[in-house]
Every structure is written in structure tokens, then in C-alpha cells.
Chain A
Amino acid sequence: MTADPIAELLAGVARADRECFRRLYSETGGKLFGVCLRILGNRSEAEDALKEVFARAWQDARRFDASKGDGMVWLVAIARDHAIDRLRARPARATDGAAPPDRAEVLPDSEAPAAKGAARRLADCLELIDPARSAALRSAYLSGLSTEALAHHHDVPLDTMRSWLRQGLAKLKECMEA
């Protein structure tokens, strides 16, 4: 791994350095709030989720291994996991209140130059998949919607959506490893 400023801040947090924690928040809070807001579609719940995300980051920072991954990817995973857990824990019909999947979700150039190669490759691989399916994959990832909710939003049967997602994932892996 080349220089990863977020990983360096996480190393500080793992040493219980509160100044590093504040800097981590100022560097990543906006992005992680964007994650929570996108998935939960509700500002006050997203705020609660973000508090939990940073509490976990403080507690779990020592489990982050910079030799195995990117600091921002690790943090976004915490935010997505927690926000999706909250979304799933809502009463059944409440999934309708979540942000609808955006069919025109674009894949902008990544902010981290080091990630550009991987982003380009993922984007290329997504293009090889049927457009409706790759749109479903993107919106699934970003919105955190369940297969059932996605089937509803895309107006296809549940089994169809499930096989779109699974085949899409399998093709993506094959393409990215090629």
C-alpha cells in the first residue's frame, strides 16, 4: 500500500489518540454521512447511524489492517453495514420509505487516484453486463435495498431479481479477475 492518510489516522485512533479521531471525523464524516443518508433516506436516523459508525471506528480501529486494505474502504464498510442493519430492522413495509434506487447512477471517477485503476476496471466490467442488471447491481449496492425491494422497484419477479444479482456478481468477478 502506498500512502493512505486515512489508514494513518486509523492507526492513531487504534492508539486511542483523540486528536487523530477528530481529524478522522473531519476527513471522512461527510462521506460516511452521505452513505448513511443514502441508505436510510432519513436525516435524523442517518445522524444516529453516523454516531454509531464513529463509535465503532473508535472501538474497532485496532482491527483495521493497513497491509490488507484501504482505510476509507474499511470505514465505508462499517457505515454501510450499520445503515443496512438499521434498514433491515425496520418493520416490513418501511423499506418503501428508503431512497429509491437510481437507475441513472453513474460511477464517477474515484477521489483516490490509487483506486482509479480498480474503479475503471469495475466500470468496464459492469458495462459488459446487461444494462438493466448492472443498474440493479449499482443501485442495490448504493441503496442497501433487499432483493425483494429491488424486485418491486424494478418491477420484476423476486426470482428474476435474485438471479440478475447473482449472475451479475459472478460475471463481475470473472471479468475483474480476467
Chain B
Amino acid sequence: MNEPASDMPEREALAAEYVLGTLALPERLAAEALVDSDTNFARLVDEWRDRLSPLNAGYAPVTPPPGLLEAVEKRLFPEPEAPHRRPWLWGVLAAAALAALALVTVLPTARPPAAIVVTLTGENQPLVIDARFDPEAGELTITRSAGPAAAPGQDHELWLIPEGEAPISIGLVREGDLTIPIATLPAGTTLAVTLEAEGGAPTGAATGTPLVSALIGGS
């Protein structure tokens, strides 16, 4: 320590070195935490970002590879394909989704709050299932409106798939209406029906591919 360390207070030197980018990992992490917790420190960092920003001109632009934007969009906006990561549904929905989901309608039939009405359909699939969610009553009502019932020894099982999560079994679609008490049905949730052994998938996880599905859209 022959030379004076700095003309700046320690805090400001930390902010300056953080922006310069020379801090070792532990100090860097400490600085990042300070940016979030200390508004004075955050202001010092902003000042240094502005002060050194003319150096940005030294970064030569390089054309990114084609398809990179699409990869980012796919990550940020997964809804048009599949709102979850289960392989069995992902593949099926990716293939059949557009045709099926194009038929989905969200009709506000009462307000406030509006009921959500969707139709579960599938490609080349005679089965059609109507779903109506009444937020006031907290009830989801499911009706098979077209197509055959499941064959003897089998059942149509209904799954609720919250965005980005695994399917949850919420009932068996047989004759007549199925009414399920649920509090909310957020946009991005998928409803799907699979063909399972009588009584539903034994493990609680779907074994069949979805026959019909619908994605809950925004209101």
C-alpha cells in the first residue's frame, strides 16, 4: 500500500469498480445485493454507468445467429403451443394444438365477474366437451356435448394443467354434468381429457394422450 488507494470513499469506489466490471465474484455479488437494498448505492451505480457509457462505443456490433429472437420468444411466450412441460402433452399439443385451440372461445356471459366458457376439442376427434366456469359460484361444470362415451372398462379423465405445472386430475367425465368446486381458472391454464382405465389413471398421473383440450385465454 505505497500509493493512496483512492480519492473516493469506499462505497463509491465499490460502485465504480462494479460498473467497470473488475470486481471478483464475492465483491461483485455483494455490490449486486447493495444495488437492490441501498438506494444511495444504486444511484452511485447509475451515475457511474452514465459516466462510463461512452466506452460502449468500443463494442463492435455482431449479427446474432438467425432464430435467436424466436428462441427468446418461445421461452417468453409459450402459450400458443403448450403451457406446461409434461412431455406427453407437450408433443401432442404442439402437433395438434393450433387446430384444436383455434376453436377455443372465451365468452363473457355474465358480469361481474364473467363466466368462462371453453370448448375442449381435438383434431379428428368426435369427442367435444364443454366447460363452463362460474367464478361467483366457484364451480367448473363439464358436459360431454358430442362424441361417444368411453368404452366399458375405460373412463374419460379430466385434467387441469396450471401454466408451467404438471396436470392435476380433477374428475371423470361420464354421463350428465360433472361439477367441480374450484376457486379460480386463470388464463394460461389448460383443460384436457385423456382416455384412462375405468376409475381414472391408477398412479394419479395421466397415461393417455389428450383426446381434447382447451387453453384458457385472457379475458
Contact = CB atoms under 8 A, between A and B. Distances in A.
Interface in A53-94: 54-55, 58, 68-70, 72-73, 76-77, 80, 84-85, 88-89
B57 interface: yes
A84 B68 contact: no
A7 interface: no
Given A51-B71, A84-B28, A167-B3, A118 B17 contact: no
Contacts of A38: 59-60
A106 B58 CA distance: 7
Nearest to A24: B69
Interface residues of B, number: 43
Contact of B8 (A70, A142, A159, A170): A170
A18 B5 CA distance: 48
> Which label, helix, strand, loop or mixed, suits the secondary structure of the B interface?
helix
A18 B16 CA distance: 35
A166 B8 contact: yes
Looking at B21, B62, B75, the one whose CB has the most chain A CB atoms below 10 A away is: B21
A167 B7 contact: yes
A169 B25 contact: no
B56 A22 contact: no
B53 interface: yes
Interface residues of A, number: 70
Interface in A158-175: 159, 162-163, 165-167, 169-174
A171 B23 CA distance: 19
Contacts of B176: none
B132 interface: no
A72 B68 contact: no
A52 B62 CA distance: 17
Contacts of A73: 49-50, 53, 56
Given A166-B17, A167-B3, A123 B61 contact: no
B58 A108 contact: yes
Interface string A111-143: 100010011011100000000000001101111
Nearest to A52: B72
B55 interface: yes
Which 9 pairs show the lowest CB-CB distances between chains A and B? A119-B54, A30-B61, A166-B6, A170-B7, A33-B64, A122-B54, A144-B21, A88-B25, A169-B16
